[in-house]
Structure 1
Amino acid sequence: MDALACCALAAPLDDAKNAQVLRYENDNIGVDGYKFAYETSDGVARQEQGELKNAGTDHAAIAVRGTISWVAADGQQYTLNYIADENGYQPEAAHLPKA
């Protein structure tokens, strides 16, 4: 959720507070996992999927994979892919703006 908070702060406040949801999907599979996706009119798009690994063992955990992108105040689109699993949070920038 931290990435989403950062993204919302990167967008100009007028655009962020007037943004409308263009697409929203949500599939809560229950104990086995979940997935969701959305896009807003201010250029934010996010999708995430979580699944239960090692169910029924002492090592049961949810593994999460997702992507978030946004258009920053400088007009550049930024994308962050991430995985969160037994190896920790692993973010990866998919596109960096040209200097």
Structure 2
Amino acid sequence: MMYPMIGKRYRCKDCKEAIGFDLCEACYNTSSKLPGRFNQQHTPDHKFELDDTQLLCRILMFRAMPEVDPQQDVAEADLPDDDQQEHANDDHVPEGNQNEDKIL
């Protein structure tokens, strides 16, 4: 058994173990459901069902993540529009201070 499982997860409906006996999609689609695999006690008449509880958690977590434009600079993404304009003009000297260094 691999952890974390990749792909669909199938749970044995007939095994009563507290930890449950899950199979990944690849193992479910092969003969690995036979008794003794991964120390599981399946018999050929055991039934499996698709367990999509983890899939739902991943979908909800993905939807909760904020969308970020991959083309946008990370520093720009954190600044509101007004701040971006202020930082773009950092090299600009205010008019009242332009002549301070000049000797009249």
Asked whether the two chains share a fold, i.e. TM above 0.5, the reply is no
When you count helix as a share of all residues, which structure comes out higher? 2
Q: Which has the higher contact order (CA 8 A, sep 6+)?
A: 2
TM-score when normalising by structure 1: 0.17
TM-score when normalising by structure 2: 0.17
When you count strand as a share of all residues, which structure comes out higher? 1
